[in-house]
Structure 1
Amino acid sequence: MINRRTFSGLAATAALALGLSASATLAQENGELVYMTPGLDLAFWRYVSEGVRNVAEENGYGFSALDSTNDPQTQLQNAQDAIARGVAGIILSPTDSSTAPAVLDLAQQAGIPVVIADIGTDSGEFVSVIGSNNYEGANGVGQALAEAMQAEGKEGGSIGIVGISQARLNGQARTQGFKDAVTEAGITGDAGLQQMQAYTADETFRFTQDMITANPQMTGMFVQTDGPTLGALRAIKAARMDGEILVGAFDGIPEFVPLLQSGELVVSGMQQPYLMGQRSAEAMVEHLSGGTPEKEITVPILIVTSENIDEQLDTIRETVFANELE
């Protein structure tokens, strides 16, 4: 005889199985959304991926993420693989703006819609592009860093930049926005720009060491993405110049929270990658449902400083860190 507790358990198991089966059937009917990312080794792209996954699964689509490992050829192969699988749609964060058109051309020939999530493209057909105003965000970082330098009497020194690829439209915008802000503040010392290739903390550690050696008067730095910023801070500590060189960053990882709270990091212009992923998938779902999403959708950048970090924490916990922050 099956007792009531056993029966309830069996019923719950059956209901769960039925629900999973229904979800799988719906996903199979709707097809698959693929997110192609420059590199899942960077937290930013993992958070975008989670945002895409969230909306895809809520709307009954299958989901997978394809890592291009910052290599255009791998990106092209990923596109070919996705097209061969007959996916319903591709959400693309290209390795850089000049490599996106090749993917867009392949997808157009196959009749597969593409939504672009950040970075942008030099040309090509796409449903929608979701991004942030990188110029405005970097300008805000520049303003905050300049104010901090002026408050500590460091405005007479120079500022070094460790940039993301300047072949990316967003990289160009971050550099120009930041430079315009510090120039307007009267800070003209330039310690040069080093351009990332590996996008690692170790790479930026070496860049920062070189900048410190070549520019003993450097009093400020701008690192244009999150993880590598940790390498810059480590190099500054190793040179025993913590507090002497003020650092501004872009994007955000959980490690930034205590660094901002302590003042070791002055400011970061935080895009909202989880929200960006959600908006990208929503645009794709709208298109696949017969709608017409906006051609350009802008997700605001949050200027998070050592002074406002605590009041911004609830927002960034979800939209920046995809609820990974404890």
Structure 2
Amino acid sequence: MTDDIIIRAKPRLITRRTLGKLAAPTVFAAAMAPGLAFAKGKRLAYITPGLDLPYWRTLSNGIADEAKKHGASSVTYDSHNSAQTQLTNAQDAIAKNVDGIILSPTDTSTAPSVLAAAARARIPVVIADIGTSGGEYLSFVISDNRKGAYGIGKVLAAELKASGRKHNTVGLVTISLARQNGKDRTAGFMQAMDEAGIKRVALSQMQTYTADETFKFVQDMLTAHPEMDGLFVETDEPTIGALRAIRAAHRQKTMKVAAFDGIPEFIKMIEDGTIVGSGMQQPYLFGTESANALFQHFAGTTPPKRIEIPIIVVDKSNVAKEAPIVRKTTFGLS
């Protein structure tokens, strides 16, 4: 867990072969960079969009666990999905003379102001997910959101085609399309739909990222488009709200739901067919990789400019095999 929580070059690809090593207790410190003794006593700040989502809590825990392992410490700042709070959090961290900042921006366009403030203070920044529209940073830790969404889109398309209906249509509840990862997820999913000849009839963008918000979105979609039989929800906990709306409309037998990211409840939901699957990112590894990029910098070496963490598309065909991996790397459980 985090030590404290304040409420307010060449790409390196993590392959399936290295994935088991990353999830193991030693997490790759010896293999990754020499001189990790330079991490001892360093203080890291993690600025996150909102700790209300399990994804960001798991990423925060990955940072904290890796920092503690090497004698460093971390503090997490909650931006509550507010660009102004995010900047205030950055200014606070800078005023406290932290040694490094890990930033998951509220949106791609809000990151440059934080990067500029950190650059003036000569504090290195690693961006963990979402991305930035400009500014200087040490490393960018990211998944191939387009590829992951395309993968889960293919799963949903196959399920819809297997239902035997003459016409299939889908709705999307997306994360902010001001975020590059939101654009990528939407594009990847729609590529899979286009290839299958499935039409999009509705799209709503999350603002508060809550189950209640998504419940209302999906309730409206089902009312406006009673023929809709597929749904893609682009992050974890809001999927629960979507499923509530589907049950309230008595559509659970005809609606096929695909998700992104993951919470522990998804395993049983995939097994029993409540959802067809999820493109699961691995936020715990985002945290450990982000911390270690800073530790490499402190040791005088240059970390990769871009570090890619794979997305695991989990569906009924592979859930038994993948569950032990995502339990740690996606859900953050021991």
- Give the TM-score normalised by structure 2: 0.87
1:113 is aligned to: 124
CA distance in 2, matches of 1:191, 1:243: 20
Q: 3-state DSSP class of the match of 1:99?
A: helix
**Per-residue deviation, 1:62:** 1.5
Alignment coverage as a number of residue pairs: 298
1:163 is aligned to: 174
**Per-residue deviation, 1:199:** 0.3
Q: Does 2:267 correspond to 1:267?
A: no
1:7 is aligned to: none
Unpaired runs of 5+ in structure 2? 1-36
Partner of residue 115 from structure 2, selected from 79, 104, 110:
104
Residues 28 and 130 (structure 1 numbering): CA distance in 2 closer, same or farther, change over 3 Å? Answer: closer
CA RMSD of aligned residues (A): 1.4
- The equivalences for 1:2-41 within 5 A come to 30-41=41-52
- The equivalences for 1:157-196 within 5 A come to 157-187=168-198, 189-196=199-206
Partner of residue 127 from structure 1, selected from 131, 138, 154:
138
Partner of residue 301 from structure 2, selected from 267, 271, 291:
291
CA distance in 1, matches of 2:124, 2:162: 50
Equivalent AA in structure 1 for residue 328 of structure 2: E
CA distance in 2, matches of 1:322, 1:154: 39
- The equivalences for 1:1-326 within 5 A come to 30-154=41-165, 156-187=167-198, 189-323=199-333
2:27 is aligned to: none
Equivalent AA in structure 2 for residue 222 of structure 1: F
Q: Report if aligned partners of 1:104, 1:126 keep a CA contact under 8 Å in 2.
A: yes
**Per-residue deviation, 1:28:** 10
* 1:223-256 residue CA offsets vs partner (Å, 9 max, x unmatched): 0000000000110000000021100000000111
CA distance in 1, matches of 2:299, 2:94: 20
Which has the higher mean CA deviation after the structures are superposed, 117-126 or 300-309? Answer: 300-309
Residues 287 and 61 (structure 1 numbering): CA distance in 2 closer, same or farther, change over 3 Å? Answer: same
Percent identity at matched positions?
52
**Per-residue deviation, 1:258:** 1.0
**Per-residue deviation, 1:27:** 10
**Per-residue deviation, 1:155:** 6.3
1:16 is aligned to: none
* 1:167-192 residue CA offsets vs partner (Å, 9 max, x unmatched): 000000000000001111121x2222
CA distance in 2, matches of 1:98, 1:49: 22
CA distance in 2, matches of 1:28, 1:119: 26
Q: Report if aligned partners of 1:272, 1:301 keep a CA contact under 8 Å in 2.
A: yes
- Give the TM-score normalised by structure 1: 0.89
Equivalent AA in structure 2 for residue 228 of structure 1: P
Q: Report if aligned partners of 2:59, 2:283 keep a CA contact under 8 Å in 1.
A: yes
Q: Answer 1 or 2: higher relative contact order, Cα 8 Å, separation at least 6.
A: 2
Q: 3-state DSSP class of the match of 1:36?
A: strand
Unpaired runs of 5+ in structure 1? 1-25
CA distance in 2, matches of 1:155, 1:137: 27
Q: Which has the larger radius of gyration?
A: 1
Residues 29 and 299 (structure 1 numbering): CA distance in 2 closer, same or farther, change over 3 Å? Answer: closer
* 1:88-125 residue CA offsets vs partner (Å, 9 max, x unmatched): 00000000100000000000000000000000000000
Equivalent AA in structure 2 for residue 218 of structure 1: M
Equivalent AA in structure 2 for residue 319 of structure 1: T
Residues 114 and 154 (structure 1 numbering): CA distance in 2 closer, same or farther, change over 3 Å? Answer: farther
Equivalent AA in structure 1 for residue 215 of structure 2: F
CA distance in 2, matches of 1:276, 1:154: 40
1:10 is aligned to: none
2:7 is aligned to: none
Structure with greater proportional helix content = 1
Equivalent AA in structure 2 for residue 71 of structure 1: S
Q: 3-state DSSP class of the match of 2:56?
A: helix
Q: 3-state DSSP class of the match of 1:226?
A: coil
**Per-residue deviation, 1:292:** 0.4
Equivalent AA in structure 1 for residue 197 of structure 2: G
**Per-residue deviation, 1:154:** 3.9
CA distance in 2, matches of 1:282, 1:243: 46
CA distance in 1, matches of 2:116, 2:304: 21
Equivalent AA in structure 2 for residue 60 of structure 1: G
Equivalent AA in structure 2 for residue 116 of structure 1: I
Q: Report if aligned partners of 2:39, 2:295 keep a CA contact under 8 Å in 1.
A: no
